[in-house]
Amino acid sequence: MDREKVTQNKWWKSAVIYQIYPRSFADSNGDGIGDLRGIISKLDYLERLGIDAVWLSPVCKSPQDDNGYDISDYQDIDPMFGTLEDMEELIREAGKRHIRIIMDLVLNHSSDEHRWFQEAKKSRENPYHDYYVWRDGTEGVFPNDMRAAFGGPAWEWVPEVQQYYFHQFSVKQPDLNWENPRLRREIYDMINWWTAKGVGGFRLDVIDQIAKEPDKKITNNGPRLHEFLRELSRETFQKADLVTVGEAWGATIELAKLYSNPDNSELSMVFQFEHIGLDQVEGKEKWDLAPLPFLKLKEVFARWQSGLHGKGWNSLFWNNHDLPRIVSRWGNDGAYRVESAKMLAILLHGLQGTPYIYQGEELGMTNVQYEIEDYRDIETLHLYEERLKKGYSREEVMRSIHARSRDNARTPMQWSDGENGGFTKGTPWIKVNPNYRQINADGQLGDEDSVFSCYKNLIRLRKKYPVFVDGDFQMLLMEDENIFAYTREHEDSRLLVVCNFSGSTVNCPLEEPGASMRLLIGNYREEGPISTLRPYEARMYLSVQREI
Ligand code: GLC
Ligand code: CA
């Protein structure tokens, strides 16, 4: 079978996507906040890394209550980030470098400062009233006991209409009512407007929550979710060659097959989190820290790899703007920072799916341990107050924050060892990680052994060998407590990936790869026998039989 057929000619299956959190990427005008012109100035860097597309966290107009995930105008750029012209220039300049721009669509809720909501709260008769989710009640008596993700009740009273509105996130993020066809039409028109501007795709924020039914306390996976998604896709995405990715915390493999059905009826791929939430106390919150159950991690990856093969498409990621830095979390950000960052990269990039690199991950950037005054994230700040009130000790709360705060991912990109890591000439909106003098892009670009070079090589390999895109998956040594090893096969090529997930030297019972296996990439200079894996050692081999 020829490759085009197997991959169904979808460019995004062999693509690697790079996520930019604009306010922390590069500041062009010295106000301490990253912006679009800053991104334009770094496109050559991204081209050098070799990525195919950039997922931009929201840059639309927003009061920034949740750093842009609260949009007050979907068809304008926030002045903090630049202008619509800057955005058009970014799309154009990226295009010249074969990089597509993926926008972040926040469609579950808008900002309370959006014109729709301003109208909606004026009266029950207002044509925009029904764009949001309202329930009657009396002040002080909530419609039910649902809680918002950032703390407090999920209901807010509006005296003008004598009703509560529903918000799954902050009070400044009222939920949109997808039951209303006029709202849906406005959303489609807005998306088509962006498509006409040349964007390459969309990432759909908490998309599994749009079909909420608060009376039944249903937040995600509501009964009408896939009906809404199919209509959305038909009216927008299917008209162009776009990549679409849905953030879905509640996705199972069965649901993921719907989201990412190869018939293209919904989205290109799903962005699900089952692997990334394993190191917390079961049934509790992410702040309730527990060691990583390594065997479970392997089981989850194996299940998703086999479950979606030929039936759907997954995202591959360790990091994003909501997650701590992976090298600090499951690697070692001390003595083995470089080795473990590369091991995690090699492990992930050998799998089936579309890899996402979150800004700074390609440098092995780490978590921070700030005092509470230095945190900016709404979720972190709420958590701090809430847990202190509940009687947790300050030390305990700070331990959770150091491990899990979203600000771990949001400290400025470390470009150089100059002032503020080269991120800004002004005062950064959030402190730069003090390790920028050791960890920065300048120090890594020209170094063949850097974490950056490892990512660059992995991206190149993925494009070269179809086995990365189409190969099936077989986990090896499933019961091994330290080693993550797997093979992938496609036609006559076989990929073998062997990773030591621990900081000790371990014995590996796998056979030495034969003469037909070539080492594609590893993270130690000298190749040794596979029977002894050094701390965090990772190796990727490929065998290609000669064509007849
Ligand atoms: C998503 C975003 C997160 C945001 C939330 C509400 O989970 O990734 O950053 O706070 O949705 O929009
Ligand atoms: Ca700026």
Residue with the two structure tokens 């407590």: 481
Q: What atom of ligand 1 comes closest to residue 108's alpha carbon?
A: 12
For atom 12 of ligand 1, which residue has the closest CA? 69
How high is the pLDDT of residue 515? 87
For atom 4 of ligand 1, which residue has the closest CA? 69
Q: Give yes or no: 247 in active site.
A: yes
Instruction: Look up the CATH number of domain 471-544.
Output: 2.60.40.1180
Please give the backbone phi and psi of residue 100, each rounded to the nearest 5 degrees, phi first. -95, 150
In the set 35, 247, 266, 274, the catalytic residue is 247
Residues of the chain with pLDDT under 50: 1-7, 547-548
Break the chain into its structural domains and give their ranges: 10-106+314-368+411-463, 115-166, 181-291+302-312, 471-544
3-state SS, 270-309, equals EECCHHHHCCECCCCCCCCECCCCHHHHHHHHHHHHHHHC
pLDDT digits (tens, 9 = 90+) for 26-80: 999 999 999 999 999 999 999 999 999 999 999 999 999 999 999 999 999 999 9
Instruction: Look up the CATH number of domain 115-166.
Output: 3.90.400.10
Pocket of ligand 1 (CB under 6 A): 66, 69, 106, 169, 205-206, 247, 321-322
**Whole-angstrom distance, CA of residue 447 vs CA of residue 217:** 53
Q: What atom of ligand 1 comes closest to residue 69's alpha carbon?
A: 12
How high is the pLDDT of residue 514? 87
How high is the pLDDT of residue 77? 98
The alpha carbon of residue 521 and the mean position of all alpha carbons in its chain are separated, in whole angstroms, by 25
C-alpha 41 to ligand 2 mean position (Å): 12
Which of 24, 205, 406 to mutate to test ligand 1, by most ligand atoms within 8 A of the CB atom?
Answer: 205
CATH architecture of 10-106+314-368+411-463: Alpha-Beta Barrel (3.20)
Buried b (16+ CB within 10 A) or exposed e, 133-156: bbeeeeeeebbeebebbbeebbbb
For atom 6 of ligand 1, which residue has the closest CA? 69
C-alpha 69 to ligand 1 mean position (Å): 6
Instruction: Please check whether residue 59 is in contact with residue 78, taking contact to mean a CB–CB distance below 8 angstroms.
Output: yes
pLDDT digits (tens, 9 = 90+) for 307-361: 999 999 999 999 999 999 999 999 999 999 999 999 999 999 999 999 999 999 9
**Whole-angstrom distance, CA of residue 398 vs CA of residue 275:** 24
> For residue 81, which ligand has an atom nearest its CA?
2
Which of 169, 203, 382, 383 to mutate to test ligand 1, by most ligand atoms within 8 A of the CB atom?
Answer: 169
In the set 27, 104, 156, 205, the catalytic residue is 205
Q: What atom of ligand 1 comes closest to residue 378's alpha carbon?
A: 10
Strands (DSSP E) along 79-220, which ranges? 100-105, 134-136, 155-158, 163-166, 201-204
Residue with the two structure tokens 């070539």: 518
Look up residue 395 and give its two tokens: 């030390």
C-alpha 172 to ligand 1 mean position (Å): 13
How high is the pLDDT of residue 539? 97
Phi-psi sector, 151: left (phi>0), alpha (psi -120 to 50), beta: left
How high is the pLDDT of residue 9? 66
Look up residue 73 and give its two tokens: 């105008």
Q: What atom of ligand 1 comes closest to residue 66's alpha carbon?
A: 10
Crossing angle of the two packed helices 394-404 and 378-389, in degrees rounded to 10: 160
Q: What atom of ligand 1 comes closest to residue 322's alpha carbon?
A: 9
CATH topology match: 115-166 vs 471-544: no
> For residue 21, which ligand has an atom nearest its CA?
1
**Whole-angstrom distance, CA of residue 420 vs CA of residue 343:** 28
How high is the pLDDT of residue 4? 41
How high is the pLDDT of residue 1? 40
C-alpha 472 to ligand 1 mean position (Å): 32
Look up residue 349 and give its two tokens: 């990039």
How high is the pLDDT of residue 527? 85
Q: Which residues surround ligand 2, an ion (CB under 5 A)?
A: 27, 29, 31, 33, 35
C-alpha 24 to ligand 2 mean position (Å): 10
Instruction: Please check whether residue 519 is in contact with residue 541, taking contact to mean a CB–CB distance below 8 angstroms.
Output: yes
C-alpha 209 to ligand 1 mean position (Å): 11
